[in-house]
Chain A
Amino acid sequence: MTDDGVLLRTVGLKKHFPVRKGVFGRVSGHLQAVDGVDLEIAQGETLGLVGESGCGKSTLGRVVLRLLEPTAGEVWFDGTELTRLSARQLKPYRRDMQIVFQDSVGSLDPRMRVREIVAEGLEIHGVASKDEREARVLDTLERVGLSRDVAGRYPHQFSGGQRQRIGLARALALQPRFVVADEPVSALDVSIQSQVLNLLVELKREFDLTYLFVAHDLAVVGYISDRIAVMYLGKVVELAPAQELFARPLHPYTMALLSANPEPIPGRKRQRIVLTGDVPSPIDPPSGCRFRTRCPIAQPICAEQEPPLADHGQGHRAACHFPGTEIAVTSSAA
């Protein structure tokens, strides 16, 4: 860990995907999936990442782990800059940084037994002897709430929640320090989701884990996160401690997102901001502030100047020319 307690830091991180000829035979451009992200995650902290489909959450998670090569920018892990390391130099860091995917079905090889799936990373990294590996596998399975005797079974023999536990066991067997959890509970039933969330929290306490937790369910992200970053079209537009973000959102996009989140409380008067229009294309994002085309309070300056992610005290940052402006609600029906 570095002196300031920061385990992971990204500086100006970008990932652009080249776009070849489209359906209309247009010339190629670049899809700006992640476009200049500066984030810090402290040791033992959970940073939640929310935003609409396609805004770049998964891409950011993958670039941070260098599962995708960044187009520009830096990733610092425990004081080392990762983006310029060779594959060999990177290998020891791979052990410390793991990922859990949403699609636990697709990410587990159906021909491998649970034992082999969980042991794979240990083998790649040459951790321990064969016997010690087996012991580690069985231990890890127990830690994630699966019994030891599942080790000989195949992924399809498990329910969604159990498969998600196998995915977790695979990530945790190497005793990583940092885990990207990309929608780890989105595919699960409500009644199973809470089991897995509790488990993630327990594991964090036990191993002092640091999470980048990606999800689109605001209540889930709010529950598990210490701080939350809100992304829109490849950029972080707001960053704040979790409770602070819910209590005092500053960016109009965050306000809209929070107000659109349906809560299971019948009869509550909803003050809802309904955004018009669709998310613009990340291939040709709007000039200035990227949210301006859907923003209810946009002004001419928003098309001209991109607002920086400015500090508003208490660790609260927002990228808006008019932060905290009250927005007229579209509907207040119950």
Chain B
Amino acid sequence: MADNTPLLRVTGLRTYFYTLDGVLRAVDGVDLTIGHGAAVGLVGESGSGKSVTALSLLRLVDSPGRIEPGSVIELEGRDLSALTEAELEQVRGKEISMIFQEPMTSLNPVFTVGDQIAEAVRLHEGLGAKDAWAKAVEMLRLVGIPSAERRVHDYPHQMSGGMRQRVMIAMALSCNPKLLIADEPTTALDVTVQAQILELMKELRERLGMSILLITHDLGVIAEMVDEVAVMYAGRIVERGPVADVFANPQHPYTEALLRSIPVVGMTYAQPLRAIRGMVPSPLEWPPGCRFAPRCDYAFAKCATEDPHLLPAGDQESACWLSEQGWRPTATIEVAT
């Protein structure tokens, strides 16, 4: 592969839904780069466009949704929009695979987990039935399911939530993808089970050397799992950079407010939380200018009319007019070194 071609490069991605209420601009100009072997986090509020971004990368957006012309998604330099549906099928699963928040909706209840993994490998790796089955057992073992050779005959409903999520990971990894997209992979799980799954993902990433795009609204999970983070607000990426920098000195006022508003262990109710006022705007009608301006404590005249794009600020980038003055210290939380 070319040395400086990133694994994935997304430029100006826009995905709109043509609904009865109007055009819903769910993803509205997203730029994102994921390097080989990198772990990138995507955070943001509910409805900010994280899942639609992920589905767009796999070109899995159905009507009334549409990836708008001019959106560019390149995998190792190949433009995915130029591929036929059959070629895309080869990309999905084999080069990019995805795990979802609710494994029950993506696992087929009428087939055993073994059948489902074996089917995926047969399709993509062209293995025979026997080898595919052996691979299924091996994958279950890899994700830490005890007595894998027995559990491979289980139906999804016979497994706990944590085990089903492991099966999903096994299935997603069965064809050695270059990029794993994990959309809220642990949100439905308890913290102690979440801890197991996060450890597993870290370990597998190291072992298999794949890249990860981890989507979550849990800033704690992000802090632990990724090297770089992108923060979404209202259909756009408003800030990105190395996770330690972004959390220590967020450059975009939304990131800053978000980090200040969450209670951390040790805080008590004697001290009010610094809430973000107002509400998330509607994707049917984004505010003019900067979309965060109506809720922003720093907003000035220009923000109400002119839409900022990502500007460099130290090692970070921030879509905020404040960044025209360069990097600013914000020191939201103490960062252990």
A interface with B by C-beta (< 8 Å): 46, 52-53, 159-162, 189-195, 197-198, 201, 216, 218-220, 222-224, 242-243, 246, 256-270, 272, 274-276, 278-279, 330-331, 333-334
**Is there an interface contact between A216 and B191, defined as CB atoms closer than 8 Å?**
yes
A16 to chain B, nearest CB (A): 22
For A216, list chain B residues within 8 Å (CB). 190-191
Q: What would be 24 A-B contacts, judged by CB atoms less than 8 Å apart?
A: A52-B190, A53-B161, A159-B279, A194-B273, A216-B190, A216-B191, A222-B268, A223-B273, A243-B266, A258-B265, A262-B221, A263-B220, A263-B264, A264-B220, A264-B259, A265-B247, A265-B336, A266-B247, A267-B335, A268-B336, A278-B160, A278-B162, A331-B199, A333-B202
Q: B262: which of A162, A194, A333 is its contact (CB, 8 Å)?
A: A194
**Is there an interface contact between B263 and A222, defined as CB atoms closer than 8 Å?**
yes
The answer to whether A191 and B223 touch (CB under 8 A), given A53-B190, A222-B265, A260-B191, is no
B188 and chain A: residue at smallest CB distance: A53
8 Å CB interface, B54-80 against A? none
Q: A242: which of B243, B259, B268 is its contact (CB, 8 Å)?
A: B268
For A264, list chain B residues within 8 Å (CB). 219-220, 222-223, 247, 259, 262, 264, 333
**Is there an interface contact between A218 and B275, defined as CB atoms closer than 8 Å?**
no
A202 to chain B, nearest CB (A): 8
Q: A191: which of B222, B247, B257, B336 is its contact (CB, 8 Å)?
A: B257
**Is there an interface contact between A189 and B275, defined as CB atoms closer than 8 Å?**
no
B221 and chain A: residue at smallest CB distance: A262
Question: With an 8 A cutoff between CB atoms, is B276 at the interface?
Answer: yes
Question: With an 8 A cutoff between CB atoms, is B261 at the interface?
Answer: yes
A292 to chain B, nearest CB (A): 15
**Is there an interface contact between A266 and B223, defined as CB atoms closer than 8 Å?**
yes
**Is there an interface contact between A189 and B268, defined as CB atoms closer than 8 Å?**
no
Q: How far is the CA of A280 from the CA of B133 in the complex (A)?
A: 29
Q: A222: which of B258, B259, B267, B277 is its contact (CB, 8 Å)?
A: B267
For B258, list chain A residues within 8 Å (CB). 190-191
8 Å CB interface, B250-296 against A? 257-259, 261-269, 272-277, 279-280
**Is there an interface contact between B217 and A219, defined as CB atoms closer than 8 Å?**
no
The answer to whether A194 and B337 touch (CB under 8 A), given A223-B269, A261-B220, A274-B195, is no
Question: With an 8 A cutoff between CB atoms, is B176 at the interface?
Answer: no
Further 12 A-B residue pairs, CB within 8 A, beyond A220-B263, A264-B264: A190-B45, A192-B279, A198-B273, A216-B191, A218-B191, A223-B267, A257-B191, A262-B220, A264-B219, A266-B335, A274-B199, A278-B163
B194 and chain A: residue at smallest CB distance: A260
**Is there an interface contact between B265 and A189, defined as CB atoms closer than 8 Å?**
no
For A256, list chain B residues within 8 Å (CB). 192
**Is there an interface contact between A246 and B191, defined as CB atoms closer than 8 Å?**
no
Most buried by B among A198, A242, A266, A279: A266
For B280, list chain A residues within 8 Å (CB). 159, 189, 191
Question: With an 8 A cutoff between CB atoms, is B224 at the interface?
Answer: yes
A246 and chain B: residue at smallest CB distance: B265
**Is there an interface contact between A265 and B190, defined as CB atoms closer than 8 Å?**
no
**Is there an interface contact between A266 and B265, defined as CB atoms closer than 8 Å?**
no
**Is there an interface contact between B333 and A189, defined as CB atoms closer than 8 Å?**
no
The answer to whether A197 and B335 touch (CB under 8 A), given A161-B279, A216-B190, A219-B262, is no
For A190, list chain B residues within 8 Å (CB). 45, 217, 219, 258, 261-262
**Is there an interface contact between B269 and A224, defined as CB atoms closer than 8 Å?**
yes
For B243, list chain A residues within 8 Å (CB). 266
A203 to chain B, nearest CB (A): 12
Question: With an 8 A cutoff between CB atoms, is B193 at the interface?
Answer: yes
Most buried by B among A190, A194, A224, A243: A190
B229 and chain A: residue at smallest CB distance: A266
For A276, list chain B residues within 8 Å (CB). 196
Question: With an 8 A cutoff between CB atoms, is B244 at the interface?
Answer: yes
Most buried by A among B163, B192, B263: B192
**Is there an interface contact between B261 and A261, defined as CB atoms closer than 8 Å?**
no
A281 and chain B: residue at smallest CB distance: B160
A53 to chain B, nearest CB (A): 5
Question: With an 8 A cutoff between CB atoms, is B218 at the interface?
Answer: yes
Question: With an 8 A cutoff between CB atoms, is B334 at the interface?
Answer: yes
For A268, list chain B residues within 8 Å (CB). 223, 335-336
Interface string of B141-170 (1 = CB under 8 A from A): 000000000000000000011110000000
For B272, list chain A residues within 8 Å (CB). 198, 201
**Is there an interface contact between A52 and B336, defined as CB atoms closer than 8 Å?**
no
For B268, list chain A residues within 8 Å (CB). 222-223, 242-243
Question: With an 8 A cutoff between CB atoms, is B46 at the interface?
Answer: yes
A205 and chain B: residue at smallest CB distance: B269
For A270, list chain B residues within 8 Å (CB). 224
A333 and chain B: residue at smallest CB distance: B202
For A192, list chain B residues within 8 Å (CB). 276, 279
The answer to whether A189 and B46 touch (CB under 8 A), given A52-B191, A219-B264, A265-B247, is yes
8 Å CB interface, B5-57 against A? 45-46
Q: A198: which of B160, B190, B244, B275 is its contact (CB, 8 Å)?
A: B275
**Is there an interface contact between B191 and A272, defined as CB atoms closer than 8 Å?**
no
Q: A223: which of B217, B247, B263, B334 is its contact (CB, 8 Å)?
A: B263
B280 and chain A: residue at smallest CB distance: A189
Q: How far is the CA of A276 from the CA of B194 in the complex (A)?
A: 12
Sorted nearest first, the 3 A-B pairs with minimum C-beta distance are A262-B220, A223-B263, A260-B195
A52 and chain B: residue at smallest CB distance: B190
For B217, list chain A residues within 8 Å (CB). 189-190
Q: B275: which of A160, A195, A220, A331 is its contact (CB, 8 Å)?
A: A195
Q: How far is the CA of A264 from the CA of B261 in the complex (A)?
A: 12
A242 to chain B, nearest CB (A): 7
B143 to chain A, nearest CB (A): 14
For A265, list chain B residues within 8 Å (CB). 223, 247, 264, 333-336
**Is there an interface contact between B191 and A261, defined as CB atoms closer than 8 Å?**
yes
For A263, list chain B residues within 8 Å (CB). 220, 223, 264-265
For A220, list chain B residues within 8 Å (CB). 263
